[in-house]
Amino acid sequence: MVARDSGMLDRGRILGDLALQLGDEELFLGHRDSEWLGLAPEIEEDVAFASMAQDEVRHAAFWYELAETAGMGQADALAFDRPATDRRHAALCARPNGDWAHTVLRHYLYDAWDAVRLMALAEAGEETVAQGARRMLREEHYHHLHMEKWVVDLGRAGGEAGQRLLKAFQALLPDLPHLAAFAVDPQALVDLGILARPLPDLRREFVARISPTLAKAGLPVHPVEAALAAQPEDRARSVAPLADAEELLSTMNGVRSLGAAAW
Amino acid sequence: MPDARMEEFMARIERGDKIEAHDWMPEDYRLLLLRLIHMHAVSEIMGAYPEKEWVPKAPTLRRKMSLAAKVQDEIGHGQLLLRVAEDLAAPLGRHRVDLMDDVITGRVKFHNVFHMEAPTWADAGIIGWLVDGAAIITQTALLDCSYAPYARVLKRICAEESFHMQHGESIILSLAEGEPWQREMLQEALNRWWEAILFFFGPPVVTDAARRMMEYRIRSRTNEELRQKFLTRYVPRIRAVGLEIPDSALRYDDEAGLWRYTEPDWERLSRMVRDNTGPKSQERISLRRRAHQDQAWVREALLRARAAAAV
């Protein structure tokens, strides 16, 4: 209740902070996706995956531009120049790439949560956010179909693929409570009319959304429910581990760090 | 005894007819086309590597999106061309997986420019501006190719390459108009790429294979004609942005109506392509190996999943 009764109901700032969170997540995951360029298991998948990476970066640009409008700084500076300690992303988005099973399962889980979150943003009354969210949902629909197919296919194939998928599931599980959360007080988002439903409702929608897919892929849903229940994250969540973001940012700033210049 | 099918085929070619994948064609025509298109496909895919490493490092959100889109296009071109090559290869009992294995075993070659280093952001710009600019020239010259499936795919490829060239030009202009150290980085990148770009069009001698491709109307211009066209188009543009072309012998010979230039080291650069001994040849082939061989388990899993779903 801290946010509601301490004079912090600064709508613009909360909106700006939310935009930075969503921007950081989309940018970091888009960055990890782009590391797969030229390396996907089949040429056709390379093209499809590259397309999704671009969507993520374009979504990031939308959120950073929104933060710019909220007076938080210039969009590129927000995207590139903020240190790891100031980032608001979910830990899962910055994790280094694993094998293809880890990549598609991470993406599937992120997209599923993102869709739930975007629907709750689209249904609320904040028009700029809702418009962006609606547009992203149209694209995320295809990401979701694509990633869902991969997860189910790898699970159904069994053998080495099934084992790799299970290993990826176990590795990703501890990051899910941090993903299904917000870097700002989620109740304040609801009170301000930015988010249509409270976090516990969104988490239930998330579990309902992924359950049939996990079942088809032969993965259990119970550990997800247990992990989420153990970490309710009902306040603004903590900063993600710094090492992953620091490594990612040092690559991302490989050109920009050469000096102040127009690029 | 003259082969009637061959005579009819050549009559079609000379009339300007287009050959389709299911039409009868002489073995020689099929093999020449397959070699050309297979190398073109693989070059598009290998061409993704020098630039892909700059996508995670691109310095603004816009640059990141446009470079990612460009690399995606190149891989997409590879995919389109592989489909054309697959149709030509199928009667020979060779399939997609064989065409890709050939990269790793060194059986298919890829363009010299993709064996080179791209150590700075300016290289990413030069590749878009000049390498794609050179590719537009060689590829538009093939638009009237007698093999219709290749000509159709090239039409789309050329349209996209012209965006790539503009994308490269945009990076170049920012650097050329930027800080002194940015201009220096750009000049160094041009110095690095110039010889390789001239070589890209191939040696001036008309080889036996090139002569036969002209007879079959697969191609209609010589390497030297295409290189001259590139110089006419790009020398003024390069000078207009204030860059110096690293060739003191470069001049336009009014009398002959030709550009004179210092010849690339044909022997050294040919060997690099033939033996995969360029500065980055092995590293890039090993990236391809990582994508193709190390992930064979994914493709096998898809086949098993499909079989399981069909039950």
| A3 assigned to some structural domain | no
A/B interface, count of CB pairs below 8 Å: 138
pLDDT category at A9 given cuts 50, 70, 90 is low
Q: Do A54 and B65 touch (CB under 8 A)?
A: yes
CB of A35 less than 8 A from some CB of B: yes
Cβ-defined contact of B305 to A157 (cutoff 8 Å): yes
Selecting from A152, A252, A261 the residue whose C-beta is nearest the C-beta of B182 gives A261
- Reported as a pLDDT band with limits 50, 70 and 90, residue A10 is confident
Opening angle at CA A118, ends A116 and A120, nearest 5: 70
What domains can you pick out in chain B, each with its CATH number? 4-310 (1.20.1260.10)
Domain count, chain A: 1
**pLDDT confidence of A106, banded at 50, 70, 90?**
very high
The structure's pTM equals 0.94
Per the domain annotation, does A4 fall within a domain? Answer: no
Q: Return the residue of A nearest to B180 by Cα.
A: A261
What is the pLDDT averaged over residues A186-213? 97
Whether B298 sits inside 8 A of A31 (CB atoms) is no
Best CA proximity match to B125, nearest among B50, B195, B56, B65: B50
Calculate mean pLDDT across residues B276-294.
Answer: 94
ipTM attached to this prediction: 0.93
Residue-wise pLDDT tens digits, B1-38: 568 999 999 999 999 999 999 999 999 999 999 999 99
Query: Which positions in chain B touch A40 (Cβ < 8 Å)?
Result: 291, 295
Quote the pLDDT of residue B309: 82
- DSSP 8-state code for residue B19: B
Cα–Cα distance list, A68 to A30, A61, A262, B77, B275 (Å): 20, 10, 18, 37, 52
Among B57, B61, B79, select the one facing A61 at the smallest CB separation: B61
Across B204-223, average pLDDT:
95
Could you tell me what percent of chain A has a pLDDT over 70? Answer: 97
Of B57, B68, B300, nearest to A254 by CB-CB distance is: B57
Q: Is A171 part of any domain?
A: yes
For A248, the domain range is 9-258
Residues with Cβ within 8 Å of A225's Cβ and at least 6 positions away in sequence, in order, are A207
- pLDDT for the residue B2: 65
Contact map slice: A 139-198 vs B, CB within 8 A: 152-154, 156-161, 164
Q: Give the count of beta carbons closer than 10 Å to the beta carbon of residue A132.
A: 21
Mean pLDDT across the stretch B190-211?
A: 96
Beta-carbon separation of B302 and A252 below 8 A: no
Q: Residue A8: is its pLDDT beyond 70?
A: no
- Lowest average pLDDT, out of A16-20, B165-169, B262-266, B304-308, goes to B304-308
Of A37, A42, A156, the CB nearest to B52: A37
Residues in chain A: 263
Work out the minimum CA distance from A12 to partner chain B, whole angstroms.
Answer: 24
- A174 domain residue, yes or no: yes
Q: Is residue A134 part of a domain?
A: yes
- The whole-chain average pLDDT of chain A stands at 94
Q: Is the pLDDT confidence value at A4 over 80?
A: no
Task: Write down the pLDDT at residue A5.
Answer: 45
> A151-185, pLDDT tens digit by residue?
999 999 999 999 999 999 999 999 999 999 999 99
pLDDT at B1: 53
Chain B: give the shortest CA distance to residue A159, in Å: 8
CATH of the domain at A197: 1.20.1260.10
A35-41: average pLDDT: 95
Mean pLDDT, all residues of chain B: 96
